[in-house]
Amino acid sequence: MSAADVPSQTPDRPASPPNGTADAAGRSAATGSAGAATLAEIARAAGVSAPTVSKVLNGRGDVAPGTRSRVEELLRLHGYQRRRGNAQPAPLLDLVFHELESAWAMEVIRGVENVARQEGLSVVLSESAGRLSPGQTWVDGVLARRPTGVILVLSGLDPAQRAQLISRDIPFVVMDPAGDPGEDVPAIGATNWQGGVAATRHLLELGHRRIGVIGGPAGMMCSRARIDGYRAALETAGVAFDPALVRAGDFHHEAGYAAGLELLRLPDRPTAVFTGNDLQALGLYEAARELGLSIPGDLSVVGFDDLPLSRWISPPLTTVRQPLTEMAEAAARLVLDLSRGKEPSTLRVDLATRLVERSSTRPPSVADAPGDGGPADGGGDASEVR
């Protein structure tokens, strides 16, 4: 029998009775001590040995699925939480991505690594393969690794997964949550709505009135917030929102290209397009080039993220800077604070976005200028895409 199979000499007790609720730090908000059950009592209720419960707690694979489910349910019902100090966590931060194949991911990794290096920790990378929450295989791995904390990017945990991490005292933070993470889940995000407003307002101030938008996945809150900001800026300026100028994307280059072709082939095409991220802006550049349109002479483009590539493309991309590295650093510091028992002053932090003006935007040309006397400018310049 391994050491991991042997229950502690000082039995762990739940932090709350069965009806306690989980708080953001992966702890249970106790409403009293009545009904508390030890690890041994949970084992008796499940009809298994205490070492078997210990195996479940430690993510061991040699437990029958039915037994594991029964034990997990009892741990959840009793609000069980491993006592801090009974076993030291591994010096690891688990970083979970919705998708890894993106320059966006590198900015996040850099931020988490900055903090991990200062704290003498290593970083374990995982991918949820496009799912909005990682699978059970990932959860089993985390329970076995027992990291200092978990950071989920554009992802989240379902209630059962949250309960599993809470019972093991593994704190977690969501960065740029895909959906609503809940009031009790610590999250780091960006001012996506304000970024959408800033991008659209910039184009309006240049004189554009037919402004298209290529959003991201409809199920992601950040994408919806950027579209809402776009719409709010139009309505504030007295420009009617036109659904024909809206296209859904998926934050990939290919979606920007396909949606860009659709928008630019409209009989009354937009003179400017706001894309939900920089990668879709790259796809839009390709679509414009294919149709013989110049940027910014025939079409102005604004992206979102301010990835390094936005400075390298021609013309350099006007975009909304999302402070990805700083967001990742904040998420890493927050999860470390939680691992040390510090209560955060706030559970949700949104870092500011800002517009970065480069060469992909200008007033509409004379032929495309609005009839309301808006600014007009003709001709191209040396940085235009053709």
Lowest-pLDDT choice from 197-201, 364-368, 373-377:
373-377
Q: What is the predicted pLDDT for the residue at 306?
A: 97
Q: What is the predicted pLDDT for the residue at 367?
A: 62
Q: What is the predicted pLDDT for the residue at 26?
A: 38
Determine contact, residues 161/132, Cβ cutoff 8 Å: no
Span 8-18, pLDDT tens digits: 333 343 333 33
**What CATH homologous superfamily does 90-190+325-352 map to?**
Response regulator (3.40.50.2300)
Calculate what percentage of the chain has a pLDDT beyond 90. Answer: 55
For the chain, which residues make up each domain, given as ranges? 3-77, 90-190+325-352, 192-322
Average pLDDT over residues 252-262: 97
Fold matches, 3-77 and 90-190+325-352: no
Q: What is the predicted pLDDT for the residue at 136?
A: 78
State yes or no: pLDDT of 125 exceeds 60. Answer: yes
Q: What is the predicted pLDDT for the residue at 131?
A: 65
Q: What is the predicted pLDDT for the residue at 48?
A: 75
Confidence category of residue 372, pLDDT binned at 50, 70, 90: very low
The C-alpha atoms of residue 322 and residue 374 are separated, in whole angstroms, by 30
Lowest-pLDDT choice from 178-187, 188-197, 332-341:
178-187
Q: What is the predicted pLDDT for the residue at 15?
A: 39
User: What integer best gives the mean pLDDT of the chain?
Assistant: 83
Q: Assign domain 192-322 to its CATH architecture.
A: 3-Layer(aba) Sandwich (3.40)
Residue type present at position 147? P
CB burial of residue 140 (10 Å; 0-12, 13-18, 19+): middle
Confidence category of residue 365, pLDDT binned at 50, 70, 90: confident
CATH topology of domain 3-77: 434 Repressor (Amino-terminal Domain) (1.10.260)
Lowest-pLDDT choice from 56-60, 238-242, 322-326:
56-60
Q: What is the predicted pLDDT for the residue at 368?
A: 63
Average pLDDT over residues 64-92: 74
